[in-house]
Amino acid sequence: MAKIIPFKAVRPIADKVALVTCRTYDDYSPAELAAWLNFNPYSFLHVINPAYANLHKISTDKRFKGVAHKYRDFKEENILITEENPVFFLYEIQTKSGIFTGIIAGTSVKDYQENVIRKHEDTLQYRVELFKEYLHKTNFNTEPVLITYPDSIEINTFIGLRKKTNPVYEFSTTNKEKHTLWKIDTQSEIDWLQEHFEKIPNLYIADGHHRSASAELLYEQNKHTGKENLQYFMSFLIAESNIKIYEFNRIIRDLNGLSKEEFIKKLSQNFIIKPKDQELWKPQNKNEFGMYLDGSFYALFYKGNKNEKGILDNLDAQILYNKVLHPLLGIGDLRNDERIDYIPGKQSVSAIKDLIDEGEFEVGFTLYPIDIEEIKTIADENLIMPPKSTYIEPKLRSGLVVYEL
C-alpha cells in the first residue's frame, strides 16, 4: 500500500509565478543562465545558483549555504509564501509533446525502503551524497521525484472534476509551455486521495532515482531528530499512461581503430544491415537500430532470438552495449567514458547527423523507446537498466512548489 501525505508547501506569490519558476538548472546554457540572472531578479535561478559569476571559485559548503540564504531572502521579500495548512496540489503541464497531469504530494521513505516504491536505475554514490548534503544545508527541495501509478478510473474522474474548478495559478512560459496548479485542501478530498493511493500496491520511479536515494540517506542520518518531513520526499504522481518515454540515442567519437569496412563487417555478424542513404531513418520496432556513419544512414535489424534470455538482455540499450559498444567499440563504462555521448530521442535525427558531420563524432545509433511495462518488469525483478536508457517527460519546473525539511 502506498502512503502519500499533504504538506505545508512554499510557493511563489501569484503575480510573480511566471517570473519565479524556471527550468532545471542543467537545461540552461551559460549564456541563457547569465541572461536570466541579469534581467529577471525574481527567477528561482538566483536561489539555486547564487554567486554564479564566481561559482567555480567557491566551495560546495559555501554554495549550499548561499542557496539557503537566498531562499530565506525570497521568503522575507514575500516572493515566496507558505501554505497555512498541509495540502496536495493538482498540476498540469501542456507542452508540444502532450498534456501531463498529476498530483504533487509527499511520498514515504519507508515505502521506498520496503520496495513499495520501486526503482529501475542505479545511482552513483557521490551524487547521492552530494544531493543529501544539499538537502541538509538548505532544508528544502523544489524538484519532485516523478513517480507513476497504475491508471485508475476513480482517480482520473477525480482529476477531471477538479480541473473544472478555479486554479491557484495558470501561466505560460517562454518555452511555450502552459502550467496550471490547483490546490487540494479540503479534508474530505485529502482523505479520499490518501485512501485511494493506499489501495495501490506499488508505485514506480520514472525519473529522480538520485533524489529519492538522497532523501533516504538524509532520513537515515537524521531520524533521531524526529522531524516528520524527513520521513517523506516530494513527488509528482502521474498515471503511467500519461508519461512520455523517449529513448536516449548514442554518438561515439571513433571506431576504436577499425576502418568503416571492418566495422560494418563485424556488425553484420549480429545484424542485418540495410543502407538508407540520406533517409533520416529511425527504428520502428524493438530490436531495430538506426546508424549514421560516414555520411549515410543504415537500418540494423538484430538477428538474435528475442526470447532466449530475460527482460534485461532483451532491452535494446543492452543489446547495443553487448553486441556493439563494448565488444566492437571498446566502451566499457557507459556513464564515464568520454568517447560516448547521449542525445534525447525527442531531438531530431538530424541533430545526430549534424554532430557527426562536424567531425567531433564518427558514428551514431538511434534506438526504439522502451515502454512502461518493460520498466515495471525490470523494477519488479529488482533489475537495473543500462545508464541513459530512458528520457521521460514531463520535466517539472523548479520553484513552483517547495518542500521544506
The pLDDT value given to residue 51: 59
What is the Cα 185 distance to its own chain's centre?
28
Sign of CA dihedral 3, 8, 9, 15: positive
- What does the DSSP assignment read for 216-282? HHHHHHHGGG--GGGGEEEEEEEEGGG-EEE-EEEEES--TT--HHHHHHHHTTTEEEEEEET----
Q: Between β-strands 88-95 and 271-277, what pairing exists: parallel, antiparallel or unpaired? A: unpaired
And the C-alpha cell for 381? Answer: 525483478
The torsion angle over the Cα atoms of residues 291, 293, 296 and 298, rounded to 10 degrees, is -30
SS3 track for 85-99: CCEEEEEEEEECCEE
Question: How large is the angle between the packed helices 187-198 and 153-162, nearest 10 degrees?
Answer: 160
CA pair distance 149, 392, nearest whole angstrom:
15
The pLDDT value given to residue 306: 60
Task: Give me the domains of the chain, ranges plus CATH numbers.
Answer: 4-245+393-404 (no CATH), 248-368 (3.30.1760)
Query: pLDDT (tens digit, 0 to 9) for every residue of the chain, 405 residues total?
Result: 899 999 999 999 999 999 999 988 888 888 888 888 899 999 999 998 865 555 556 788 888 999 999 999 999 999 999 999 999 999 999 999 899 999 999 999 999 999 999 999 988 899 999 999 999 999 999 999 999 999 999 999 999 999 999 999 999 999 899 999 999 999 999 999 999 999 999 999 999 999 999 999 999 999 888 889 999 999 999 999 999 999 999 999 999 999 999 999 999 999 999 999 999 999 999 999 999 999 999 999 999 876 557 888 889 999 999 999 999 999 999 988 999 999 999 999 999 999 999 999 999 999 999 999 999 999 999 999 988 999 999 999 999 999 999
CB atoms within 10 A of CB 196: 16
The neighbouring-strand residues paired with 373 are none
Identify which of 352, 370, 367, 357 has the alpha carbon closest to the alpha carbon of residue 290: 367
Q: Which residues in 337-351 are b (16+ Cβ under 10 Å) and which e? A: eebbbebebeeebee
The pLDDT value given to residue 93: 97
> 3-class DSSP state for residue 305?
coil
Query: Which residues are CB-neighbours of 93 under 8 A, at least 6 positions away?
Result: 99, 100, 101, 177, 178, 179, 394, 396
CA pair distance 43, 21, nearest whole angstrom:
6
Q: Evaluate if pTM is beyond 0.85.
A: yes
> 3-class DSSP state for residue 174?
coil
